[in-house]
Structure 1
Amino acid sequence: MSDWMVTQTPLPRRRPRALSPLREHLRDTFWFAPTAAMVGVFVVWLVAQELDAALVRSLRDDGDFDTLADLLRFADDAKTVVSAVGSAMMTFIGVVFSISLVAVQMASGQFTPRVVRLFVRSRITKATFAVFLATFVLTLLVLTSYDSGADPLVVASAPLVQSVLTLVMVALSLLLFVMYVNTTLRLMRVSHVIARIAAESFRVAALMPLPAQDGQAPALGPVTAWVAHEGQAGVLRDVHIARLVRVARKHGVVLRTVPRTGDFLVPGTPVLAVHGGQAPPRRALRYALSVGVERTFHQDLAFGLRQLSDIALRALSSAVNDPTTAVQALDRVVQILATLSRRPLDAVVHRDRRGTVRLVQPVPGWTELVDLGFTEIRACAARTPQVTRRMLAGLDDLLLLAPPDRREPLLRHRALLRQAVERSAPSPADRAFGLQPDRQGIG
């Protein structure tokens, strides 16, 4: 296992709450919110139907047939509006769906295919689809409640509350449509996409447990058993931390995950190392590891840097040739590395309620994160002074922030970047210009 590195890190003012793997996976799906909205609107329609029936009974019992007749006329007039809403809502849904497809296609083509996840997780996009579908289902249900030409003396129900509820849903749909267009346009701008990726990375870093107060790494002892992966092949998306801690505490052992989050798992390879006892039964470890087809931000500390590097590489390609976008990606790379420069890395320790170590997760070390953030961009940026100047400024800033034992990879990348610029620049003046640190690249 990698060497441990423990430093004193101040507690953030407000630590975000970690969601369960199930809730994180539901946020990565697009079907759950619309389905829940359609089921919920059906329940609301049943309640509204009962309220309409209770209102009619109350007016009939009071003998207020004039008011009841007025309600029936209002409901009959609202039927035209409800019918128009039902037919127009499907057109609205088609427009929203078309906008989403175009936005996703443009974003994946211009930035990186991995940013599609930002559109899938967008709350506004899900809410817009959910409310539109719910409004359409509600109009169909309300139309079944109309009874044209009903006699106030014998009518059992008038869809008054249902009609008002439909109008409220239409108003909410229009408001969400405006917000959806605004959000989609923002997500199509590379600066906002990069900012969202950085925000997700900061959230993952904030969820990492803080080191022990004594700053000492726990001694795990020798490995006493191994647990192999028996599921399908795929990327390790996340680990159910609470479940593994409970299992380890129950069996009196310490569990250590062998692969890192984001590694590709092959059936038969070890996924858990057991320290201090026998391996827990397989049924106790069921659903403790989640394997999927792609990486997610949940528990993956390096995924944000991976996406930023991909965006910068695509911007520096000869087909795109957009060094300003690469500079914007480098801005966030430097920001993320600055945030992690004094954080404990290499491994994350999870303890039970008594403070005993029960689970150890490997995470990328400082050198690996620096290499991920700079290596590929540096290799493609030697002939682009705007990017080389920004990278040098970023490395200089990180050298000021990082502790002495973490400066070696920064100095190495700084030296390699100077060598690359000296080999590619045609004249001494160009070399001097490309090696001048500048936080904006070139103004």
Structure 2
Amino acid sequence: MSDWLVTQRPHARRGPRALSPLREHLRDTFWFAPTAAMVGVFVVWLGAQALDTAIVDALREDGDYETLDELLRFAEDAKAVVSAVGSAMMTFIGVVFSISLVAVQMASGQFTPRVVRLFVRSRITKATFAVFLATFVLALLVLTAFDSADDPRDVTTLPLVQSILTLCMVALSLLLFVLYVNTTLRLMRISHVIARIATESFRAVASMPPHTGGPDSPDLGSATAWVPHEGRAGVLRDVHIARLVRVARRHGVVLRLIPRIGDFVVPGTPLLAVHGGAVPPLGALRYTTSVAVERTYHQDLGFGLRQLSDIALRALSPAINDPTTAVQALDRIVQFLAALTRQPLDVALHRDREGTVRLVQPVPGWTELVDLGFTEVRGCALASPQVSRRMLAGLDDLLLLAHPDRREPLLRHRALLRQAVDESASNATDRAFALRPDRQGIG
């Protein structure tokens, strides 16, 4: 079967915008949100302090020392509250950190170590840490703004707005703590973890350029030059598609990515093939690819299937023996493959504004994705009729949805599963039961 190519016409409806990988990289870090929150709260504190100073100056100019005396007594009470907030926030931060560690440890042990990324990428977890740290920093800053003067005539500033802002941050922290506990408990349930993996996987599908009935792959001819990988060895995490397209357009060439996203690359191996001209300056190609120690969802079409398969394999291991979890993973595997039954695969073509192909990116093909989703699970499903029945039902559903050219790997897996069950089952009744398709496994 010829490769199905992803194309895009210059004046057709544009697909999802190719985002910079920086956004996804920041989502995979845990330091950015708390750091940004602490810097932001410092700026807000400076504004609140200036406002408090302006209020005190206005009252002194009007000679309203009676109001200043009342505000001074209010500030003394607020100081006790702010001091208590400052000491309590560190305890809250320790509790949140402990809950996170326990949740991560349980998830990596019961599901797969690769689901730890879900906890790192959790927005509510980052928001909770960020607001807690910002509240603690704000409490310390507000404590430094209290005036020690007892006479209202000697008061130069009172942290009135700052104290109110601190109380608002405390209320926000309590609300986020409740949401954080609820979210963490959800992430410790396998059904929600599997659903999150599927959601992230569909984002990778949505980021692919749409097929709009354009021409087939252009005849690139032989490569005129090669760009080797420079830097550390690791997994090709993602590429900056928009920047590579701009560089290729500016220099009148077509760039072809050699490894796929998720491949392990070592220094010196070919990274990009150049067609139709000389190699663009290396400075222009700098920071267009990202290599790290592990894969991400951003542009990796098969990473979600890899995790779902790992969860099913872990559930079917003798140590856990949880076929129901494997069935839940198969539900999402079938859902993901069903969305790709008629999706162009094998290679993605990225075009410039004039519609000229500038970047050719390899992506997993249909057969590879089907094998990734079913091969290893099928090998471990022989002792669990629940899993074999669910897999057969899923393969039958995919056969109804798939293009005729894509049915061969599905038929192959169904035949291999039937053959393996026939060889392993002790009698005809058990074989017939294990080979009866059931979308619930044993419904």
TM-score, with length taken from structure 1:
0.97
**Within 2, Cα distance between the matches of 1:7 and 1:177?**
44
Q: How many pairs does the alignment contain?
A: 439
Report the secondary structure of 2:350's partner residue.
strand
**C-alpha displacement of 1:7:** 8.2
- Distance apart, 1:3 and its partner CA: 4.6
Q: Please state how far the C-alpha of 1:230 moved relative to its aligned partner.
A: 1.3
Deviation digits for residues 332-369 of structure 1, max 9, x if unmatched? 00000000010000011111111110001100000000
Query: How many angstroms apart in 2 are the aligned matches of 1:168 and 1:226?
Result: 58
After TM superposition, give the deviation of residue 152 of structure 1 in Å.
1.4
By how many angstroms is 1:59 displaced? 1.2
Shift in CA distance, 37/421, structure 1 to aligned 2, threshold 3 Å? same
Find the counterpart in structure 2 of residue 391 from structure 1: 391
- Residue 173 of structure 1 aligns to which amino acid in structure 2? S
Please, which runs of 5 or more residues in structure 2 have no aligned partner? none
Q: Residues of 1 paired with 2:355 and 2:17: CA distance?
A: 19
Does the 8 A contact of 1:7 with 1:342 survive in 2? no
Shift in CA distance, 404/8, structure 1 to aligned 2, threshold 3 Å? farther
Quote the residue 1:423 is aligned against.
Answer: 423
Separation in 2, partners of 1:178, 1:215:
53
Pairwise CA RMSD: 1.5
Alpha-carbon contact 1:16-1:203 (below 8 Å) kept:
no
User: Relative contact order (C-alpha < 8 Å, sep 6+): which is higher?
Assistant: 2
1:349-396 CA distances to partner (integer Å, 9 max, x unpaired)?
A: 111111110001100000000000000000000121000000000000
* Distance in 2 of aligned mates of 1:186 and 1:117: 15
Displacement of 1:400 in angstroms is 0.2
* Structure 1 Cα separation of the partners of residues 251 and 415 of structure 2: 51
Residue of structure 1 in register with 2:116 after alignment: 116
Deviation readout 1:388-407 (Å, 9 max, x if unpaired): 00000000000000010000
Deviations 1:202-256 (A, max 9, x none): 1110110012433522222221111111111000000011111111011100000
Shift of 1:276: 0.8
Structure 1 distance, partners of 2:442, 2:6, is: 37
| 2:292 aligned partner, one-letter code | G
Paired residue type of 1:323? P
The aligned counterpart of 2:345 is 345
| Structure 2 match to 1:258 | 258
Partner of 1:178: 178
Q: Which residue in the other structure is 1:154 paired with? A: 154
2:363 equivalent in structure 1: 363
Q: Which residue of 1 aligns with 2:236?
A: 236
Q: Distance in 1 between matches of 2:86 and 2:15?
A: 45
Query: What is the deviation of 1:6?
Result: 4.3
Report if the CA contact (8 A) 1:236-1:264 is conserved.
yes
Kept in 2: contact 1:76–1:148 (CA 8 A): no
Cα separation, partners in 2 of 1:215 and 1:433, compared to 1, 3 Å: farther
Q: Note the 1:203-214 alignment, pairs <5 A.
A: 203-214=203-214
- State whether structure 2 residue 219 is matched by structure 1 residue 219: yes
Distance 1:32 1:434 in 2: 50
Partner-residue secondary structure (3-state), 2:280: coil
Shift of 1:304: 0.3
Q: Per the alignment, do residues 119 and 14 of structure 1 end up closer, same or farther by CA in structure 2, a change over 3 Å counting?
A: farther
Give the letter aligned to residue 392 of structure 2. Answer: L
SS of the equivalent of 1:146 reads coil
Identity of aligned residues (%): 79
Partner Cα separation in structure 2 for residue 34 and residue 320 of structure 1: 37
Determine the C-alpha separation between the residues in 2 that align with 1:6 and 1:35: 43
Give the distance between the partners of 2:219 and 2:156, measured in 1 at CA. Answer: 75
**What is the CA distance between 1:149 and its match in structure 2?**
3.9
Report if the CA contact (8 A) 1:34-1:131 is conserved. Answer: yes
Structure 2 match to 1:47:
47
Q: Map of 1:399-418 to 2, 5 A cutoff?
A: 399-418=399-418
Match of 1:5 in 2: 4
2:101 equivalent to 1:101: yes
1-structure distance, mates of 2:170, 2:218: 59
- Whole-angstrom distance in 1 between the partners of 2:102 and 2:165: 32
**Greater alpha carbon shift after TM alignment, 203-212 vs 86-95:** 203-212
